[in-house]
Amino acid sequence: MNRRDFLRHILMAGASLPAISWPEHMDLGFRFSEVTNAAGIHFRHNSGAYGGKLLPETLGAGCAFLDYDADGWQDILIVNGMDWPEHKRQRTTLCLYRNNRNGTFSDVTREAGLDVEMYGMGVAIGDYNNDGFPDIYVTCVGQNRLFHNSGNGTFIDVTHASGLGNRHAFSTSALWFDFNCDGLLDLFVCNYVKWVPEHDVFCSLDGTRKSYCTPEAYRGETCWLFRNRGNGTFEDVTAHSGIFDTSSKSLGVAMLDYDLDGWPDLLVANDTQPNKLYRNLHNGTFKESAVEAGVAFSSDGKARAGMGVDAADFDNSGADGIAITNFDNEMIGLYKKMPGGEYQDIAATTDVGLVSRNTLGFGCSFVDVNLDGQLDLVVANGHIDETVRFIRSGVGYAQSPHLFLNQGKARFSDVAHNAGTEFSRPKVGRGLAYGDFDRDGDLDLLVTTNNGPVHLFRNDQFSGNRSIRFHLVGTKSNRDAIGARVQITCAGETQSRMVKSGSSYLSQSELPVTFGVKHHDRVDRLVIYWPSGRTEEYKNILTKRAYKCTEMRGMVFQYGF
């Protein structure tokens, strides 16, 4: 290579850096294959759009992996909207798909009693009554719904019986967590803005045709916190707990342990308003600490359009990092916990910031897609306005997702274009959840689209990397062990995961935790920090297996893969 060739290669490399950060020909060691139709999932979201451009139409909807029949196989729940009252064309409901344990699913919505028409937005899964069967909370535009799992494959709407009725709002994401560590799951619900169809504001991009408004046109709405009384009813503790804030316009919520005190804290992503970090004060109240933690604003002091959010130990430091998806031209916020306790947005110094400048992100999850022991970041993208291409060149309505592969030392590369043809195809993505529906030890993805189909992507591993999975069952703690932190040490590397509800956008992923361990055949040490305060430790555990860990009763082998 002569000097001219060398300089040419350098220039080409420099020019292509933003677009191509991973060689096209490189084998990632895994691939996401679309198996939606083959799995028998034929769902299409109904936003109710009829041309009125009503605000909720462009924001839904979510999805979830759950094991509703407690058979050890992950089932799927997909939230749906409905036609607006004056524009009825069809009847649509959320859909529950039972896992047939052979790679296919059956639609059991009607049998389960869930064929209820509602304008659904998000979903949170949690066993609030500790009966061993996960219950479903669906957020809606209007009245949210709580469906109690009766344990025989059917659900009962207990919204009003539980004290959650008579509340009408534009709710978005929600999560179950035990904020007072009493062994009962409490409920946190995000509300977006004060909106009713009758008072929808006329917004226009071209001055003539109506378009979807930004949230600045509406007043904010406080999030809700409901304490589980333990008798099947809930108490609204929003005001008492310090959560009450009518300025918020919340779309996403994630639980994390910000101050590493073992008590669950909350991070709420707000749209055009500062994000909120509610630090648990252990006395049933929270202190809002987003500004001092450095996650309220962007690094230039701007309140961004926060959509989805997830928190996880992506740098294996033991502390939870945070990812928040934002509007296009705002970049994803990728926050790393610094030694001083505050967060620093490192997105701009990695591919994450550069690549996400032209995408509008919604669902986001830290997932170890290649089982290398480093949490990667998956982001579902899609714009809210079909005409965006006329306003911003290079930004489309349908957008490819991001798959930021974690290369260690806070370095990420977007490899979505190489992870599967259907996976990388542009779509109007919204919800995102992960779960191992085929029990092969790796994590599959479920992506919803606005007013479009859902996509189930099966993770196919070729690298030979192994994993280990733990399904936690609380006894003193809440039965789902939500809030438990699981820590493994393998070949000198320590990873940690939290059992959590919520996160992403309007969605919920499976509750079992999965660790990638590369080619190692055993984990040296496993430590479980239960929400009750109890700590359990296990040693020398074989990988390529799933285990069930019951609080105070030990660990048993479930299945291998």
Smallest gap from Cβ 214 to other proteins, in A, equals 16
Number of residues assigned to the chain = 561
CB nearer to other proteins: pick between 197 and 242:
242
CB nearer to other proteins: pick between 242 and 284:
242
Reading the block at residue 64, the tokens are 């979830």
284 binds other proteins (CB under 8 A): no
272 half-sphere exposure, CB direction, 13 A CA radius: 12
Smallest gap from Cβ 496 to other proteins, in A, equals 31
Reading the block at residue 152, the tokens are 């025989």
421 binds other proteins (CB under 8 A): no
246 binds other proteins (CB under 8 A): yes
Write the DSSP assignment of 310-341 as a string of letters.
EEE-TTSSSS-EEEE---TTT--EEEEE-TTS
Cross-strand bridge partners of residue 225: 188
244 binds other proteins (CB under 8 A): yes
Smallest gap from Cβ 276 to other proteins, in A, equals 10
288 binds other proteins (CB under 8 A): yes
Q: Which of 204, 247, 349, 387 binds other proteins (CB under 8 A)?
A: 247
Binding mask 201-240 for other proteins (x = CB under 8 A): ------------------xx-x-------------x-xx-
Smallest gap from Cβ 247 to other proteins, in A, equals 5
# residues contacting other proteins (CB under 8 A): 14
131 binds other proteins (CB under 8 A): no
Which of 169, 81, 166, 75 lies closest to 121 in space, CA to CA? 81
CB nearer to other proteins: pick between 100 and 247:
247
345 binds other proteins (CB under 8 A): no
Smallest gap from Cβ 140 to other proteins, in A, equals 17
CB nearer to other proteins: pick between 276 and 402:
276
Q: How far is it, in rounded angstroms, from Cα 132 to Cα 35? A: 30
Binding mask 290-329 for other proteins (x = CB under 8 A): -x---------x----------------------------
Smallest gap from Cβ 180 to other proteins, in A, equals 18
CB nearer to other proteins: pick between 236 and 440:
236
Smallest gap from Cβ 366 to other proteins, in A, equals 29
160 binds other proteins (CB under 8 A): no
Contact 483, 299 (CB under 8 A): no
Q: Which stretches within 209-317 are classed as H helix?
A: 238-241, 290-293
CB nearer to other proteins: pick between 278 and 437:
278
For residue 427, what is the DSSP state? Answer: B
User: Nearest 5 degrees, angle CA 482-CA 510-CA 338?
Assistant: 60
b/e burial code for range 323-340 (CB count within 10 A of at least 16 → b): bbbbbbebbbbbbbbeee
Residue indicated by tokens 């020909």 = 25
CB nearer to other proteins: pick between 216 and 521:
216
Smallest gap from Cβ 285 to other proteins, in A, equals 9
What are the DSSP E strand ranges found in 16-88? 30-34, 63-66, 75-78
CB nearer to other proteins: pick between 265 and 480:
265
Smallest gap from Cβ 349 to other proteins, in A, equals 25
Q: Which of 245, 320, 345, 414 binds other proteins (CB under 8 A)?
A: 245
CB nearer to other proteins: pick between 226 and 437:
226
DSSP element (H, E) containing 245: none
For residue 118, what is the DSSP state? Answer: -
Q: How far is it, in rounded angstroms, from Cα 348 to Cα 177? A: 32
Q: How far is CA 107 from CA 40, 63, 249, in A?
A: 8, 14, 34
CB nearer to other proteins: pick between 239 and 552:
239
242 binds other proteins (CB under 8 A): yes
Write the DSSP assignment of 160-216 as a string of letters.
TTTT--S-EEEEEEEEEE-TT-SSS-EEEEEE-B---GGG---EESSSSSEEPPPGG
Residues 6+ apart with CB under 8 A from 306: 251, 252, 269, 270, 271, 275, 324, 325, 326, 333
Smallest gap from Cβ 240 to other proteins, in A, equals 8
Smallest gap from Cβ 21 to other proteins, in A, equals 35
In this structure, which amino acid lies at residue 3?
R
CB nearer to other proteins: pick between 134 and 220:
220
- Chain residues that interact with other proteins, rule: CB under 8 A: 219-220, 222, 236, 238-239, 242, 244-247, 288, 291, 301
